[in-house]
Homo-oligomer: A and B are copies of this chain.
Amino acid sequence: MQERSRVTFDALVEACAGLLVERGYARTTTNHIAARAGVNVASLYEYFPGKDAVVAEVAARLVDRVLRRLGRGAAQVVEGGEQRAVRRWIERIHDTLLREKKLVAVFLYQFPHTGQLDSIESLGPRLLEFSQEIRRHAAGFVRSDLSDASLQLLINLVTSTIMQLVFDPPRGISRRALLDELVARTEEWIRD
């Protein structure tokens, strides 16, 4: 039954996601995953070639979720008019990340094989493409001579600051101040 398969497959992926969050990558084992999914280890190997394949599926779904949520946000940002668009956009990214904080941290800081998780790897480039698209559609309030390099830099500024706010909020400076400053800087950056 295809139904039964789907259920088992999903159970495995979700069990894995949960364990990654609770125990971290290194201490998440195939036996744990299968046990929490309520199936035998061997079933895991029916659906995945090995442990990292399950983890990869978790990553793929995570990336999907994040991009989809950001996609919806982008539409609203552009449609919603210039007014506070940047602020809305940045806060949308911030909230999206905050929601998946623990899981994102696993792939950012724990998954040991650099260059082996296509979906995660693709996030950076996708973000750039994304921004380029926004730039094109937002000709009204974005300066026309914004180069790719400059855009990439801006993305770095935004993402790294959001990451800092999400994963390691600085002690000496208030969240609010940092976010406000980030918004201000970004508006200045993109505006003519």
Interface residues of chain A, those whose CB is within 8 Å of chain B, are 24-27, 105, 108-114, 121, 124-125, 128, 147-150, 152-153, 156-157, 159-161, 164, 168, 170-173, 177-178, 180-182, 185
CB-nearest residue of chain B to A121: B168
Q: Say which residue of B24, B25, B113, B149 sits within 8 Å of A178 (CB atoms).
A: B149
Closest 9 CB pairs of A and B: A160-B160, A149-B181, A26-B112, A157-B157, A156-B160, A149-B177, A109-B114, A156-B161, A110-B112
Inter-subunit contact A124/B168 (CB<8 Å): yes
Q: Say which residue of B26, B110, B150, B159 sits within 8 Å of A181 (CB atoms).
A: B150
Given contacts A147-B181, A148-B172, A149-B180, 4 further A-B contacts (CB under 8 A): A109-B112, A152-B164, A156-B160, A157-B160
In the complex, A178 Cα to B25 Cα: how many Å?
34
9 contacts between A and B (CB under 8 A): A109-B114, A124-B164, A124-B168, A125-B171, A150-B185, A153-B181, A156-B161, A157-B157, A157-B160
